[in-house]
Structure 1
Amino acid sequence: MDWQKVAMRDIIFAHTRYVYPSYTDYRRLVELAGFETCFVDQIDFTRKNVVYIVSPLNGEYRPHRDNWRKHAHNAHVVWWSLERPGPSGIAEFVRGTKRLLDDWYFDEVWLSDRYLCEQCHDKRVRFVVLGSHPALGQPRRSRRRSFQYDIVHLSYLTPRRQAIIDPLTNSLDVAPNGWGEARDRILAASAFMLNVHQDDWLVLEPLRFALAAAWALPMISEHMIDPYPYNRGETGHYIKQVHYDDLVGEVLNAVRGDYEQFRAMGRRMHDLMTTEFGFRRQVELAVAVLDRRPLDPLTLR
Protein backbone atom coordinates (compact mmCIF):
# COMPACT_ATOMS: atom_id res chain seq x y z
CA MET A 1 0.00 0.00 0.00
CA ASP A 2 1.21 3.53 -0.79
CA TRP A 3 0.78 4.88 2.74
CA GLN A 4 2.23 8.25 1.70
CA LYS A 5 -0.70 8.82 -0.68
CA VAL A 6 -3.16 7.82 2.01
CA ALA A 7 -1.53 10.16 4.51
CA MET A 8 -1.81 13.07 2.06
CA ARG A 9 -5.59 12.76 1.85
CA ASP A 10 -8.11 13.15 4.65
CA ILE A 11 -10.84 10.52 4.47
CA ILE A 12 -14.26 11.72 5.63
CA PHE A 13 -17.47 9.71 5.55
CA ALA A 14 -20.42 11.98 4.76
CA HIS A 15 -23.61 10.64 6.35
CA THR A 16 -27.19 11.59 5.65
CA ARG A 17 -28.99 13.44 8.42
CA TYR A 18 -31.82 10.95 8.11
CA VAL A 19 -30.87 7.74 9.92
CA TYR A 20 -31.68 4.56 7.99
CA PRO A 21 -31.85 1.47 10.23
CA SER A 22 -30.49 -0.66 7.37
CA TYR A 23 -27.30 1.43 7.42
CA THR A 24 -26.70 1.06 11.16
CA ASP A 25 -23.88 -1.43 10.57
CA TYR A 26 -22.29 0.79 7.92
CA ARG A 27 -22.15 3.73 10.32
CA ARG A 28 -20.85 1.48 13.06
CA LEU A 29 -18.07 0.20 10.80
CA VAL A 30 -17.05 3.78 10.01
CA GLU A 31 -17.01 4.56 13.73
CA LEU A 32 -15.04 1.44 14.67
CA ALA A 33 -12.49 2.16 11.94
CA GLY A 34 -11.91 5.62 13.42
CA PHE A 35 -12.75 7.68 10.34
CA GLU A 36 -13.83 11.30 10.52
CA THR A 37 -17.48 11.98 9.64
CA CYS A 38 -19.71 14.85 8.61
CA PHE A 39 -23.18 15.26 7.12
CA VAL A 40 -23.61 15.40 3.34
CA ASP A 41 -24.70 19.04 3.50
CA GLN A 42 -21.37 19.86 5.18
CA ILE A 43 -19.20 18.63 2.30
CA ASP A 44 -16.76 21.35 1.26
CA PHE A 45 -16.10 20.78 -2.44
CA THR A 46 -13.35 23.42 -2.48
CA ARG A 47 -11.27 21.61 0.13
CA LYS A 48 -8.06 20.07 -1.18
CA ASN A 49 -6.52 16.70 -0.36
CA VAL A 50 -9.72 15.21 0.98
CA VAL A 51 -11.86 12.25 -0.02
CA TYR A 52 -15.52 12.36 0.96
CA ILE A 53 -17.41 9.05 0.89
CA VAL A 54 -21.19 9.26 0.63
CA SER A 55 -23.60 6.41 1.40
CA PRO A 56 -26.51 6.01 1.09
CA LEU A 57 -27.59 8.46 -1.59
CA ASN A 58 -30.89 10.18 -0.87
CA GLY A 59 -32.45 13.57 -1.60
CA GLU A 60 -30.05 15.46 0.67
CA TYR A 61 -26.88 15.30 -1.40
CA ARG A 62 -27.68 16.50 -4.92
CA PRO A 63 -29.12 19.93 -3.99
CA HIS A 64 -26.00 20.57 -1.92
CA ARG A 65 -23.74 19.62 -4.83
CA ASP A 66 -25.74 21.83 -7.20
CA ASN A 67 -25.31 24.81 -4.88
CA TRP A 68 -21.53 24.45 -5.22
CA ARG A 69 -21.39 24.15 -9.02
CA LYS A 70 -19.81 27.59 -9.51
CA HIS A 71 -17.06 26.96 -6.98
CA ALA A 72 -13.77 25.17 -7.54
CA HIS A 73 -14.10 21.42 -7.16
CA ASN A 74 -10.98 20.29 -5.33
CA ALA A 75 -12.35 17.50 -3.16
CA HIS A 76 -12.67 13.94 -4.42
CA VAL A 77 -16.22 12.74 -3.76
CA VAL A 78 -17.17 9.07 -3.87
CA TRP A 79 -20.56 7.42 -3.76
CA TRP A 80 -20.22 4.00 -2.14
CA SER A 81 -23.26 2.32 -3.64
CA LEU A 82 -24.35 -0.58 -1.45
CA GLU A 83 -27.86 -0.98 -2.86
CA ARG A 84 -29.10 -3.69 -5.21
CA PRO A 85 -29.99 -2.93 -8.85
CA GLY A 86 -33.70 -2.99 -8.01
CA PRO A 87 -36.73 -3.88 -10.14
CA SER A 88 -35.50 -1.88 -13.16
CA GLY A 89 -32.60 -4.29 -13.58
CA ILE A 90 -28.86 -4.11 -13.99
CA ALA A 91 -28.89 -2.19 -17.29
CA GLU A 92 -30.88 0.67 -15.78
CA PHE A 93 -28.73 0.56 -12.65
CA VAL A 94 -25.65 1.03 -14.85
CA ARG A 95 -27.26 3.90 -16.78
CA GLY A 96 -28.28 5.64 -13.56
CA THR A 97 -24.80 5.27 -12.13
CA LYS A 98 -23.20 6.73 -15.24
CA ARG A 99 -25.64 9.66 -15.27
CA LEU A 100 -24.52 10.63 -11.77
CA LEU A 101 -20.90 10.53 -12.92
CA ASP A 102 -21.49 12.32 -16.23
CA ASP A 103 -23.38 15.08 -14.43
CA TRP A 104 -20.44 15.20 -12.02
CA TYR A 105 -22.30 14.60 -8.84
CA PHE A 106 -19.46 12.25 -7.96
CA ASP A 107 -15.88 11.71 -9.07
CA GLU A 108 -16.14 7.97 -8.52
CA VAL A 109 -18.59 5.26 -7.59
CA TRP A 110 -17.54 2.28 -5.49
CA LEU A 111 -19.41 -1.00 -5.78
CA SER A 112 -18.87 -3.97 -3.48
CA ASP A 113 -20.03 -6.64 -5.92
CA ARG A 114 -17.38 -7.39 -8.53
CA TYR A 115 -19.78 -8.71 -11.17
CA LEU A 116 -21.99 -5.62 -10.88
CA CYS A 117 -18.93 -3.41 -11.16
CA GLU A 118 -17.79 -5.17 -14.33
CA GLN A 119 -21.17 -4.52 -15.96
CA CYS A 120 -20.51 -0.77 -15.79
CA HIS A 121 -17.46 -0.85 -18.11
CA ASP A 122 -16.38 2.51 -16.71
CA LYS A 123 -13.05 3.29 -15.03
CA ARG A 124 -14.87 5.75 -12.76
CA VAL A 125 -16.70 2.80 -11.19
CA ARG A 126 -14.47 0.68 -8.99
CA PHE A 127 -14.81 -2.53 -7.04
CA VAL A 128 -14.07 -1.97 -3.35
CA VAL A 129 -14.63 -4.73 -0.81
CA LEU A 130 -16.79 -3.72 2.11
CA GLY A 131 -14.81 -5.26 4.94
CA SER A 132 -15.82 -5.98 8.50
CA HIS A 133 -14.53 -5.33 12.02
CA PRO A 134 -14.28 -7.74 14.96
CA ALA A 135 -16.06 -5.33 17.31
CA LEU A 136 -19.14 -5.23 15.06
CA GLY A 137 -20.08 -8.64 16.47
CA GLN A 138 -19.52 -10.90 19.44
CA PRO A 139 -18.66 -14.36 18.10
CA ARG A 140 -19.69 -17.21 20.35
CA ARG A 141 -17.74 -20.37 21.03
CA SER A 142 -20.75 -22.35 22.18
CA ARG A 143 -21.68 -25.72 20.75
CA ARG A 144 -24.63 -26.19 18.40
CA ARG A 145 -27.08 -27.34 21.08
CA SER A 146 -26.89 -24.02 22.91
CA PHE A 147 -28.45 -21.99 20.08
CA GLN A 148 -32.02 -20.81 20.43
CA TYR A 149 -32.53 -20.28 16.70
CA ASP A 150 -31.50 -22.45 13.78
CA ILE A 151 -31.33 -19.61 11.27
CA VAL A 152 -31.50 -15.82 11.19
CA HIS A 153 -32.06 -13.88 7.96
CA LEU A 154 -32.64 -10.23 9.03
CA SER A 155 -34.34 -9.30 5.78
CA TYR A 156 -37.60 -7.86 4.51
CA LEU A 157 -39.84 -10.69 3.35
CA THR A 158 -40.46 -10.18 -0.35
CA PRO A 159 -42.48 -12.94 -2.07
CA ARG A 160 -39.37 -14.77 -3.32
CA ARG A 161 -37.91 -14.72 0.21
CA GLN A 162 -41.21 -15.76 1.74
CA ALA A 163 -41.25 -18.82 -0.50
CA ILE A 164 -38.04 -19.98 1.21
CA ILE A 165 -38.64 -18.81 4.78
CA ASP A 166 -42.20 -20.17 5.15
CA PRO A 167 -41.34 -23.87 4.64
CA LEU A 168 -38.25 -23.49 6.83
CA THR A 169 -40.39 -22.00 9.60
CA ASN A 170 -42.49 -25.17 9.58
CA SER A 171 -39.43 -27.28 10.41
CA LEU A 172 -36.89 -25.01 12.11
CA ASP A 173 -36.63 -22.27 14.71
CA VAL A 174 -36.33 -19.14 12.58
CA ALA A 175 -35.21 -15.98 14.38
CA PRO A 176 -37.35 -12.84 14.20
CA ASN A 177 -36.00 -9.59 12.80
CA GLY A 178 -34.84 -6.89 15.17
CA TRP A 179 -32.63 -3.86 15.72
CA GLY A 180 -30.23 -2.65 18.38
CA GLU A 181 -29.66 -4.77 21.47
CA ALA A 182 -32.55 -7.06 20.55
CA ARG A 183 -30.84 -7.88 17.26
CA ASP A 184 -27.54 -8.56 19.04
CA ARG A 185 -29.28 -11.07 21.28
CA ILE A 186 -30.84 -12.72 18.23
CA LEU A 187 -27.51 -12.97 16.42
CA ALA A 188 -25.80 -14.41 19.49
CA ALA A 189 -28.54 -17.03 19.77
CA SER A 190 -28.50 -18.11 16.09
CA ALA A 191 -26.63 -20.98 14.47
CA PHE A 192 -26.70 -19.89 10.80
CA MET A 193 -27.18 -16.73 8.77
CA LEU A 194 -29.39 -17.27 5.71
CA ASN A 195 -29.15 -14.88 2.78
CA VAL A 196 -31.89 -14.93 0.12
CA HIS A 197 -31.80 -12.23 -2.54
CA GLN A 198 -34.60 -9.69 -2.56
CA ASP A 199 -34.88 -10.05 -6.34
CA ASP A 200 -33.57 -12.21 -9.17
CA TRP A 201 -30.21 -10.42 -9.51
CA LEU A 202 -27.40 -12.69 -8.30
CA VAL A 203 -25.32 -10.01 -6.60
CA LEU A 204 -23.87 -9.72 -3.11
CA GLU A 205 -25.48 -8.05 -0.08
CA PRO A 206 -22.29 -6.45 1.33
CA LEU A 207 -23.60 -5.26 4.69
CA ARG A 208 -25.31 -8.54 5.58
CA PHE A 209 -22.13 -10.44 4.78
CA ALA A 210 -19.97 -8.04 6.81
CA LEU A 211 -22.33 -8.49 9.75
CA ALA A 212 -22.26 -12.29 9.51
CA ALA A 213 -18.47 -12.19 9.31
CA ALA A 214 -18.22 -10.04 12.43
CA TRP A 215 -20.32 -12.55 14.35
CA ALA A 216 -18.55 -15.55 12.77
CA LEU A 217 -21.99 -16.81 11.76
CA PRO A 218 -21.86 -19.57 9.14
CA MET A 219 -23.41 -18.07 6.02
CA ILE A 220 -25.71 -20.05 3.75
CA SER A 221 -26.47 -17.84 0.77
CA GLU A 222 -28.38 -18.01 -2.43
CA HIS A 223 -25.94 -18.30 -5.33
CA MET A 224 -24.08 -15.20 -6.54
CA ILE A 225 -22.17 -14.75 -9.79
CA ASP A 226 -19.01 -13.32 -8.20
CA PRO A 227 -19.08 -12.90 -4.40
CA TYR A 228 -15.37 -12.13 -4.08
CA PRO A 229 -13.64 -12.42 -1.63
CA TYR A 230 -16.09 -14.86 -0.04
CA ASN A 231 -15.55 -17.33 -2.90
CA ARG A 232 -11.80 -17.60 -2.38
CA GLY A 233 -10.52 -21.10 -1.75
CA GLU A 234 -12.46 -24.28 -2.27
CA THR A 235 -16.27 -24.44 -2.28
CA GLY A 236 -17.65 -23.95 1.21
CA HIS A 237 -14.42 -22.61 2.65
CA TYR A 238 -15.85 -19.23 3.72
CA ILE A 239 -19.55 -19.45 2.80
CA LYS A 240 -21.96 -22.05 1.46
CA GLN A 241 -23.64 -21.02 -1.81
CA VAL A 242 -26.85 -22.71 -2.93
CA HIS A 243 -29.08 -22.19 -5.96
CA TYR A 244 -32.50 -20.78 -5.13
CA ASP A 245 -34.50 -23.95 -5.87
CA ASP A 246 -32.24 -25.99 -3.58
CA LEU A 247 -32.17 -23.60 -0.63
CA VAL A 248 -34.83 -25.19 1.56
CA GLY A 249 -33.38 -28.68 1.30
CA GLU A 250 -29.78 -27.57 1.75
CA VAL A 251 -30.59 -25.43 4.79
CA LEU A 252 -32.43 -28.35 6.42
CA ASN A 253 -29.46 -30.63 5.73
CA ALA A 254 -27.01 -28.11 7.20
CA VAL A 255 -29.04 -27.56 10.37
CA ARG A 256 -29.45 -31.29 10.94
CA GLY A 257 -25.86 -32.14 10.04
CA ASP A 258 -22.45 -31.72 11.64
CA TYR A 259 -22.39 -28.16 12.92
CA GLU A 260 -18.68 -28.14 13.73
CA GLN A 261 -17.67 -27.95 10.07
CA PHE A 262 -19.93 -24.94 9.61
CA ARG A 263 -18.73 -23.29 12.79
CA ALA A 264 -15.19 -23.56 11.43
CA MET A 265 -16.40 -22.02 8.16
CA GLY A 266 -17.84 -19.07 10.08
CA ARG A 267 -14.58 -18.55 11.95
CA ARG A 268 -12.61 -18.57 8.70
CA MET A 269 -14.93 -15.92 7.26
CA HIS A 270 -14.56 -13.86 10.43
CA ASP A 271 -10.77 -14.01 10.28
CA LEU A 272 -10.66 -13.17 6.56
CA MET A 273 -13.00 -10.18 6.70
CA THR A 274 -11.65 -8.62 9.90
CA THR A 275 -7.95 -8.85 9.00
CA GLU A 276 -6.94 -9.02 5.33
CA PHE A 277 -10.26 -7.50 4.26
CA GLY A 278 -10.89 -5.35 7.31
CA PHE A 279 -13.04 -2.27 6.72
CA ARG A 280 -10.39 0.39 7.32
CA ARG A 281 -7.74 -1.43 5.32
CA GLN A 282 -10.00 -1.74 2.26
CA VAL A 283 -10.95 1.95 2.35
CA GLU A 284 -7.32 3.01 2.63
CA LEU A 285 -6.33 0.70 -0.22
CA ALA A 286 -9.03 2.24 -2.41
CA VAL A 287 -7.95 5.79 -1.56
CA ALA A 288 -4.27 5.00 -2.15
CA VAL A 289 -4.87 4.25 -5.83
CA LEU A 290 -7.17 7.15 -6.68
CA ASP A 291 -6.51 8.66 -10.10
CA ARG A 292 -6.26 12.39 -10.58
CA ARG A 293 -9.66 14.04 -10.94
CA PRO A 294 -10.50 15.33 -14.45
CA LEU A 295 -11.01 19.04 -15.05
CA ASP A 296 -14.40 20.43 -14.11
CA PRO A 297 -16.10 21.18 -17.46
CA LEU A 298 -17.88 24.16 -15.88
CA THR A 299 -15.01 25.90 -14.10
CA LEU A 300 -12.01 24.38 -15.97
CA ARG A 301 -10.17 24.04 -12.66
Structure 2
Amino acid sequence: MKLALLSGAHVHTPGYLKTIRERDDLELAVVWDDMESRGQAIAAEMGCPFEADLDAALRVAGLEATVICADNAGHRKLVEASAAAGLDIFCEKPMALSVDDANAMLAAIRGAGVLAVFGFFQPYQGAALAARKLIAEGKLGTITQLTYRNSHHAAYGRWFDRPEVAWFTVPEKAGGGAFCDMGAHAMHFVRLVFGPVSSVSASISNKSNEYPAVDDHGVALLEFESGATGVLEASWVFTGGPTGLEVVGSKGSLRVRGNQCEFTPFDAKPGEVQVIEPLEAEPTRLERLVALKQGLLDRAEADRDLDSCRDAVAISVAAYASSREGRRVNP
Protein backbone atom coordinates (compact mmCIF):
# COMPACT_ATOMS: atom_id res chain seq x y z
CA MET A 1 0.00 0.00 0.00
CA LYS A 2 1.44 3.37 -1.04
CA LEU A 3 1.23 6.07 1.61
CA ALA A 4 1.70 9.82 1.77
CA LEU A 5 2.96 11.30 5.04
CA LEU A 6 1.27 14.64 5.59
CA SER A 7 3.48 16.36 8.19
CA GLY A 8 5.91 14.83 10.63
CA ALA A 9 5.06 17.22 13.44
CA HIS A 10 3.79 14.65 15.94
CA VAL A 11 6.12 12.97 18.45
CA HIS A 12 4.73 9.59 17.34
CA THR A 13 5.88 10.05 13.73
CA PRO A 14 9.09 7.99 14.18
CA GLY A 15 6.99 5.04 15.32
CA TYR A 16 4.88 5.14 12.18
CA LEU A 17 7.97 5.41 10.00
CA LYS A 18 9.35 2.33 11.77
CA THR A 19 6.11 0.46 11.04
CA ILE A 20 6.35 1.41 7.36
CA ARG A 21 9.97 0.28 7.14
CA GLU A 22 9.25 -3.04 8.82
CA ARG A 23 6.19 -4.03 6.76
CA ASP A 24 6.66 -5.35 3.23
CA ASP A 25 3.12 -4.29 2.32
CA LEU A 26 3.66 -0.59 3.11
CA GLU A 27 5.59 1.99 1.11
CA LEU A 28 6.06 5.67 1.83
CA ALA A 29 5.69 7.26 -1.60
CA VAL A 30 5.86 10.97 -0.72
CA VAL A 31 6.23 13.38 2.20
CA TRP A 32 4.53 16.76 2.54
CA ASP A 33 5.17 19.06 5.49
CA ASP A 34 4.49 22.73 6.21
CA MET A 35 7.94 22.78 7.89
CA GLU A 36 10.03 22.00 4.83
CA SER A 37 13.21 21.18 6.74
CA ARG A 38 11.37 18.59 8.81
CA GLY A 39 9.68 17.07 5.79
CA GLN A 40 12.86 16.98 3.73
CA ALA A 41 14.71 15.24 6.56
CA ILE A 42 12.02 12.55 6.79
CA ALA A 43 11.97 12.08 3.01
CA ALA A 44 15.74 11.65 2.98
CA GLU A 45 15.54 9.16 5.84
CA MET A 46 12.84 7.13 4.09
CA GLY A 47 14.29 7.39 0.57
CA CYS A 48 11.24 9.01 -1.01
CA PRO A 49 10.45 12.42 -2.56
CA PHE A 50 9.49 15.52 -0.60
CA GLU A 51 6.69 17.56 -2.16
CA ALA A 52 6.07 21.11 -0.95
CA ASP A 53 2.70 21.37 -2.72
CA LEU A 54 -0.08 19.49 -0.90
CA ASP A 55 -2.26 18.98 -3.97
CA ALA A 56 0.67 17.58 -5.91
CA ALA A 57 1.54 15.23 -3.05
CA LEU A 58 -2.01 13.86 -3.06
CA ARG A 59 -1.83 13.24 -6.81
CA VAL A 60 1.18 10.91 -6.65
CA ALA A 61 0.36 7.86 -8.74
CA GLY A 62 -0.85 4.80 -6.89
CA LEU A 63 -1.48 6.42 -3.52
CA GLU A 64 -4.01 4.58 -1.34
CA ALA A 65 -3.85 6.36 2.02
CA THR A 66 -2.46 9.30 3.96
CA VAL A 67 -0.74 9.34 7.33
CA ILE A 68 -1.47 12.66 9.04
CA CYS A 69 0.90 13.61 11.86
CA ALA A 70 0.33 17.37 11.79
CA ASP A 71 -0.24 19.67 14.74
CA ASN A 72 -3.77 19.36 16.09
CA ALA A 73 -5.02 22.53 14.40
CA GLY A 74 -3.96 21.17 11.01
CA HIS A 75 -6.05 18.01 11.08
CA ARG A 76 -9.21 19.29 9.41
CA LYS A 77 -7.50 20.70 6.33
CA LEU A 78 -5.50 17.53 5.72
CA VAL A 79 -8.35 15.11 6.42
CA GLU A 80 -10.68 17.01 4.08
CA ALA A 81 -8.02 17.14 1.35
CA SER A 82 -7.30 13.41 1.72
CA ALA A 83 -10.99 12.50 1.58
CA ALA A 84 -11.53 14.72 -1.46
CA ALA A 85 -8.69 12.82 -3.16
CA GLY A 86 -10.42 9.51 -2.39
CA LEU A 87 -7.65 8.37 -0.05
CA ASP A 88 -8.08 6.38 3.17
CA ILE A 89 -6.83 8.18 6.25
CA PHE A 90 -4.86 7.60 9.40
CA CYS A 91 -4.73 10.76 11.52
CA GLU A 92 -3.21 11.36 14.92
CA LYS A 93 -5.43 12.26 17.86
CA PRO A 94 -7.31 14.30 18.91
CA MET A 95 -9.63 14.31 15.93
CA ALA A 96 -10.02 18.10 16.00
CA LEU A 97 -10.06 21.14 18.27
CA SER A 98 -13.69 22.16 17.74
CA VAL A 99 -16.97 20.37 17.28
CA ASP A 100 -17.53 22.22 14.00
CA ASP A 101 -14.22 20.91 12.66
CA ALA A 102 -14.95 17.37 13.85
CA ASN A 103 -18.38 17.42 12.21
CA ALA A 104 -16.91 18.73 8.95
CA MET A 105 -14.26 16.00 8.99
CA LEU A 106 -16.87 13.30 9.59
CA ALA A 107 -18.95 14.65 6.73
CA ALA A 108 -15.93 14.63 4.42
CA ILE A 109 -14.94 11.08 5.38
CA ARG A 110 -18.41 9.63 5.07
CA GLY A 111 -19.27 11.65 2.00
CA ALA A 112 -16.21 10.32 0.18
CA GLY A 113 -16.74 6.77 1.41
CA VAL A 114 -13.14 6.44 2.60
CA LEU A 115 -11.83 4.60 5.66
CA ALA A 116 -10.50 6.66 8.55
CA VAL A 117 -8.74 5.79 11.80
CA PHE A 118 -7.54 8.19 14.48
CA GLY A 119 -4.60 7.70 16.81
CA PHE A 120 -6.39 6.06 19.75
CA PHE A 121 -5.06 2.70 20.92
CA GLN A 122 -5.97 2.12 24.56
CA PRO A 123 -9.40 0.49 23.99
CA TYR A 124 -7.83 -2.16 21.75
CA GLN A 125 -5.14 -3.51 24.09
CA GLY A 126 -5.63 -7.00 25.48
CA ALA A 127 -6.54 -6.13 29.07
CA ALA A 128 -8.86 -3.34 27.94
CA LEU A 129 -10.65 -5.72 25.57
CA ALA A 130 -11.06 -8.22 28.42
CA ALA A 131 -12.52 -5.48 30.61
CA ARG A 132 -14.87 -4.36 27.85
CA LYS A 133 -16.07 -7.95 27.43
CA LEU A 134 -16.87 -8.22 31.16
CA ILE A 135 -18.77 -4.94 31.03
CA ALA A 136 -20.68 -5.90 27.86
CA GLU A 137 -21.64 -9.26 29.39
CA GLY A 138 -23.11 -7.50 32.43
CA LYS A 139 -20.67 -9.02 34.91
CA LEU A 140 -20.40 -5.68 36.72
CA GLY A 141 -24.14 -5.08 36.75
CA THR A 142 -25.23 -1.45 36.54
CA ILE A 143 -22.19 0.79 36.18
CA THR A 144 -22.32 3.52 38.81
CA GLN A 145 -18.86 5.10 38.74
CA LEU A 146 -15.52 5.01 36.98
CA THR A 147 -12.14 6.71 37.07
CA TYR A 148 -9.54 7.00 34.32
CA ARG A 149 -6.06 8.48 34.78
CA ASN A 150 -3.80 8.95 31.75
CA SER A 151 -0.65 10.81 32.73
CA HIS A 152 3.11 11.16 32.37
CA HIS A 153 5.84 13.68 33.24
CA ALA A 154 6.33 15.51 29.93
CA ALA A 155 6.47 18.97 31.55
CA TYR A 156 9.16 18.05 34.07
CA GLY A 157 10.97 16.07 31.37
CA ARG A 158 10.91 19.07 28.97
CA TRP A 159 9.68 16.79 26.19
CA PHE A 160 8.60 19.62 23.91
CA ASP A 161 11.71 21.79 23.79
CA ARG A 162 12.78 20.69 20.28
CA PRO A 163 11.54 23.06 17.52
CA GLU A 164 9.92 20.16 15.64
CA VAL A 165 7.54 19.41 18.53
CA ALA A 166 7.34 22.78 20.28
CA TRP A 167 3.84 23.25 18.83
CA PHE A 168 2.53 21.05 21.67
CA THR A 169 2.97 24.12 23.90
CA VAL A 170 1.42 26.65 21.48
CA PRO A 171 -2.33 27.03 22.14
CA GLU A 172 -3.18 28.00 18.56
CA LYS A 173 -1.64 24.79 17.21
CA ALA A 174 -2.21 22.33 20.05
CA GLY A 175 -5.57 23.57 21.33
CA GLY A 176 -4.48 22.88 24.90
CA GLY A 177 -1.86 21.08 26.91
CA ALA A 178 -2.02 17.88 28.93
CA PHE A 179 -5.80 17.65 29.08
CA CYS A 180 -6.13 17.98 25.31
CA ASP A 181 -3.20 15.62 24.72
CA MET A 182 -3.40 12.85 27.34
CA GLY A 183 -7.04 13.51 28.16
CA ALA A 184 -8.06 12.77 24.56
CA HIS A 185 -7.29 9.08 25.11
CA ALA A 186 -9.36 8.95 28.30
CA MET A 187 -12.29 10.83 26.76
CA HIS A 188 -12.35 8.59 23.70
CA PHE A 189 -12.13 5.42 25.79
CA VAL A 190 -14.94 6.24 28.19
CA ARG A 191 -17.22 7.53 25.42
CA LEU A 192 -16.62 4.36 23.39
CA VAL A 193 -17.22 2.00 26.30
CA PHE A 194 -19.71 3.80 28.54
CA GLY A 195 -21.72 5.83 26.06
CA PRO A 196 -22.68 9.48 25.61
CA VAL A 197 -21.82 12.13 28.20
CA SER A 198 -24.54 14.56 29.31
CA SER A 199 -22.51 17.08 31.33
CA VAL A 200 -18.94 18.01 32.20
CA SER A 201 -17.36 19.91 35.09
CA ALA A 202 -13.60 20.45 35.02
CA SER A 203 -10.58 22.10 36.58
CA ILE A 204 -7.71 22.50 34.12
CA SER A 205 -4.56 24.47 34.92
CA ASN A 206 -0.78 24.73 34.79
CA LYS A 207 0.87 23.39 37.95
CA SER A 208 4.57 23.42 37.04
CA ASN A 209 5.01 26.64 35.02
CA GLU A 210 7.27 24.64 32.70
CA TYR A 211 5.18 25.33 29.58
CA PRO A 212 3.06 28.17 30.94
CA ALA A 213 1.08 28.91 27.77
CA VAL A 214 -0.84 25.61 28.11
CA ASP A 215 -2.20 23.43 30.89
CA ASP A 216 -0.21 20.55 32.34
CA HIS A 217 -2.93 19.00 34.51
CA GLY A 218 -6.69 18.59 34.40
CA VAL A 219 -9.49 16.74 36.17
CA ALA A 220 -13.02 16.38 34.76
CA LEU A 221 -16.21 15.08 36.31
CA LEU A 222 -18.45 13.48 33.69
CA GLU A 223 -22.11 12.59 34.02
CA PHE A 224 -23.12 9.91 31.50
CA GLU A 225 -26.55 9.54 29.96
CA SER A 226 -26.61 6.08 31.54
CA GLY A 227 -26.53 7.63 35.01
CA ALA A 228 -22.90 6.69 35.73
CA THR A 229 -20.41 9.25 37.00
CA GLY A 230 -16.82 9.36 35.75
CA VAL A 231 -13.66 11.14 36.87
CA LEU A 232 -10.91 11.66 34.30
CA GLU A 233 -7.42 12.93 35.10
CA ALA A 234 -4.75 13.88 32.56
CA SER A 235 -1.33 15.25 33.39
CA TRP A 236 2.15 16.16 32.19
CA VAL A 237 3.33 16.48 35.82
CA PHE A 238 2.73 12.91 36.98
CA THR A 239 5.80 11.48 38.71
CA GLY A 240 4.44 8.23 40.12
CA GLY A 241 1.42 6.19 41.11
CA PRO A 242 -1.23 4.11 39.36
CA THR A 243 -2.70 5.00 35.99
CA GLY A 244 -5.48 3.33 34.03
CA LEU A 245 -9.14 2.51 34.52
CA GLU A 246 -11.30 1.56 37.50
CA VAL A 247 -15.00 0.73 37.13
CA VAL A 248 -17.55 0.03 39.86
CA GLY A 249 -20.94 -1.58 39.26
CA SER A 250 -23.75 -3.13 41.26
CA LYS A 251 -22.28 -6.65 40.89
CA GLY A 252 -18.58 -5.95 41.19
CA SER A 253 -15.62 -3.82 40.14
CA LEU A 254 -12.65 -4.04 37.82
CA ARG A 255 -9.28 -2.42 37.41
CA VAL A 256 -7.07 -2.17 34.32
CA ARG A 257 -3.40 -1.35 34.81
CA GLY A 258 -1.22 -1.69 31.74
CA ASN A 259 -2.00 -5.11 30.31
CA GLN A 260 -3.51 -6.53 33.50
CA CYS A 261 -7.24 -6.71 34.24
CA GLU A 262 -8.53 -7.56 37.72
CA PHE A 263 -12.17 -8.27 38.60
CA THR A 264 -13.65 -8.30 42.10
CA PRO A 265 -17.19 -9.68 42.42
CA PHE A 266 -19.54 -7.97 44.87
CA ASP A 267 -19.65 -11.10 47.07
CA ALA A 268 -15.90 -11.74 47.02
CA LYS A 269 -14.06 -12.43 50.25
CA PRO A 270 -11.80 -9.62 51.54
CA GLY A 271 -8.73 -9.42 49.35
CA GLU A 272 -10.11 -11.84 46.76
CA VAL A 273 -9.38 -10.67 43.22
CA GLN A 274 -9.80 -12.51 39.93
CA VAL A 275 -7.04 -11.86 37.39
CA ILE A 276 -8.68 -11.86 33.96
CA GLU A 277 -6.67 -13.17 31.04
CA PRO A 278 -6.11 -10.44 28.43
CA LEU A 279 -7.73 -11.02 25.07
CA GLU A 280 -5.75 -10.90 21.85
CA ALA A 281 -4.94 -7.26 21.17
CA GLU A 282 -6.35 -5.65 18.06
CA PRO A 283 -4.21 -3.64 15.63
CA THR A 284 -3.98 0.03 16.51
CA ARG A 285 -3.25 3.35 14.79
CA LEU A 286 -1.69 2.96 11.32
CA GLU A 287 -1.84 -0.82 11.48
CA ARG A 288 -5.55 -0.58 12.36
CA LEU A 289 -6.16 1.19 9.07
CA VAL A 290 -4.22 -1.52 7.23
CA ALA A 291 -6.26 -4.24 8.97
CA LEU A 292 -9.51 -2.49 8.01
CA LYS A 293 -8.43 -2.29 4.38
CA GLN A 294 -7.57 -5.99 4.48
CA GLY A 295 -11.00 -6.89 5.87
CA LEU A 296 -9.62 -8.11 9.20
CA LEU A 297 -11.74 -5.74 11.31
CA ASP A 298 -15.41 -4.78 11.22
CA ARG A 299 -15.84 -1.67 9.08
CA ALA A 300 -19.24 -0.85 10.59
CA GLU A 301 -17.71 -0.88 14.07
CA ALA A 302 -14.86 1.31 12.85
CA ASP A 303 -17.38 3.78 11.45
CA ARG A 304 -19.20 3.88 14.80
CA ASP A 305 -15.88 4.56 16.49
CA LEU A 306 -15.64 7.77 14.47
CA ASP A 307 -18.64 9.02 16.45
CA SER A 308 -16.69 8.40 19.67
CA CYS A 309 -13.74 10.34 18.21
CA ARG A 310 -16.09 13.21 17.41
CA ASP A 311 -17.76 13.08 20.83
CA ALA A 312 -14.37 13.06 22.57
CA VAL A 313 -13.78 16.46 20.95
CA ALA A 314 -17.11 17.70 22.29
CA ILE A 315 -16.23 16.48 25.80
CA SER A 316 -12.84 18.20 25.64
CA VAL A 317 -14.34 21.49 24.43
CA ALA A 318 -16.91 21.32 27.22
CA ALA A 319 -14.23 20.58 29.83
CA TYR A 320 -12.13 23.60 28.86
CA ALA A 321 -15.23 25.81 28.84
CA SER A 322 -16.23 24.50 32.28
CA SER A 323 -12.80 25.22 33.68
CA ARG A 324 -12.73 28.77 32.25
CA GLU A 325 -16.28 29.65 33.27
CA GLY A 326 -16.61 27.75 36.54
CA ARG A 327 -19.81 25.95 35.60
CA ARG A 328 -21.15 22.64 34.37
CA VAL A 329 -21.27 22.39 30.56
CA ASN A 330 -23.27 20.10 28.29
CA PRO A 331 -21.08 18.74 25.45
Give TM-score scaled by structure 2 length.
Answer: 0.36
